[in-house]
Amino acid sequence: MSTAAEPGRTWPLVGRAAELDDLDDLLSTAADGVGMTVLLEGEAGVGKTSLVDALRGSARLLDVELLTARASELRNWPFALLSDALLVRSGRAGRGPVEAELTDLLDAIYADPVRSVARHDRAAELFAALLRRHGDSRPWALVLEDVHEADAPSLEVLLQLAHEGAVPRALVVLTMRPVPYRPELAAAVAAWTRAGARYLELRPLNARATVELAENLVGSPVGPSLRGTLATTGGNPRLVADVVRTARAAGALVVTDGVLDSTGVAWLTPLDEVVRRRIEYLGPEVLALLGQASVLGTSFVIADLASLVGDPVGDCWRTLRHGLAAGVVRARGDRLVFGHDLVRGALYNGLEPDQRRALHARAAWALRQAGAPPQIVTAHLERAR
């Protein structure tokens, strides 16, 4: 999911004053010459990029050099992330001997990846040295975005660096989604945690900030019908922007007495499609199980889902863990609750009608077995027709 060019960005950020203050404080600490590392984690679209983008202004004011790079699974060749951060911008002319040697080494590695083990080790060593020494002349900040998609050699360098403590005179911010889980990322995160890195979990916006964001996007107060749909976004800013953009594109927004509201339901079908595309990254297995769970409602007991799909609870749990880590579902005791009802609805509406009816029939059976009240069982049976 690309973020930098996303339309719909409002400025200043909504509902992030505390997080911005935190990052600004850490940047000031780095400007005073103290190294700090921050692990910024949050679900897709919650605003990680927006938050670190906001560091630019503070860095300029504090005269701290800010280097950024974003990992991407489409650019996962060795050291792609670190070379984007440390080499690409310097250009051939502005390169010191270490950068020049690294550039030549990388060219050789890319030309002949198989016979490059020694070059590989040397490149890792040089990247670590560059990171360690970059702040010799002045403090700096390094933002490495989406490290959950980072190439393994870059993660290995970050892991090794963590064993030495914070990068000297630098604020290092690593942003990541909680999924997909990758052992090499988990190892780097654990090492940074042991090295005293700050963990900052970026949570969804609260209800007030959600409406404020929508009002900023449309430029006027929003009415009850649109607020109703906004309430299903679970405070995810990307979903809020999706709601507004889709309603607008479908011509479903009307202004009455200065209040803008949505009208009709036709625009909800394209909205479902947009939302389903947003969660494609979870992969077919997780999406299929969540789709089946959507039949049980906004919240469901895992054992009921297991009998619905006919799999052992342990298997369901292993698959659902990815949905949990992604924030699509949240744990409440032995229940799971969809984090964004908009997502649950999109999954439910995406089921084939025959499949949906069959699932309701099985849900009626599973819930009756589990002792659910007759009216709940009947409601499922009605939808099974």
Residue ranges that bind Mg ion, judged by CB under 5 A: 3, 48-49
In the list Mg ion, ligand ATP, none, the entry touching 58 (Cβ below 5 to 8 angstroms by class) is: none
In the list ligand ATP, Mg ion, none, the entry touching 279 (Cβ below 5 to 8 angstroms by class) is: none
Q: Are 250 and 267 in contact (CB under 8 A)?
A: yes
Residues 6+ apart with CB under 8 A from 218: 244, 248, 253, 260
Residues 6+ apart with CB under 8 A from 211: 222, 227, 230
Q: How many residues does the chain have?
A: 385
Positions touching ligand ATP (CB under 6 A) are 1, 3, 6, 8-10, 13-16, 42, 44-50, 146, 177, 213, 237-238, 241
Separation of alpha carbons 338 and 377, rounded Å: 21
CA 302 to chain centre: 25
- Residue facing ligand ATP at closest CB distance: 47
Shortest Cβ 240–ligand ATP spacing (Å)? 7
Shortest Cβ 3–Mg ion spacing (Å)? 4
- The total of other beta-carbon atoms located within 10 Å of residue 179's CB is 21
Task: Indicate the residue among 45 and 339 with the shorter CB distance to ligand ATP.
Answer: 45
In the list Mg ion, ligand ATP, none, the entry touching 24 (Cβ below 5 to 8 angstroms by class) is: none
Task: Indicate the residue among 45 and 223 with the shorter CB distance to ligand ATP.
Answer: 45
- Residue facing Mg ion at closest CB distance: 49
Q: Which two tokens stand for residue 257?
A: 């007495």
Measured at the CA of 185, the angle between CA 182 and CA 190, to 5 degrees, comes to 120
Shortest Cβ 344–ligand ATP spacing (Å)? 20
- The total of other beta-carbon atoms located within 10 Å of residue 265's CB is 10
Separation of alpha carbons 68 and 85, rounded Å: 6
Task: Indicate the residue among 47 and 168 with the shorter CB distance to ligand ATP.
Answer: 47
Q: Are 176 and 206 in contact (CB under 8 A)?
A: no
Shortest Cβ 9–Mg ion spacing (Å)? 12
Task: Indicate the residue among 48 and 340 with the shorter CB distance to Mg ion.
Answer: 48
Shortest Cβ 343–ligand ATP spacing (Å)? 15
Shortest Cβ 54–ligand ATP spacing (Å)? 9
Three-state secondary-structure class, residue 68: strand
In the list ligand ATP, Mg ion, none, the entry touching 345 (Cβ below 5 to 8 angstroms by class) is: none
Task: Indicate the residue among 10 and 103 with the shorter CB distance to ligand ATP.
Answer: 10
Task: Indicate the residue among 8 and 221 with the shorter CB distance to ligand ATP.
Answer: 8
Residue position matching structure tokens 């914070």: 166
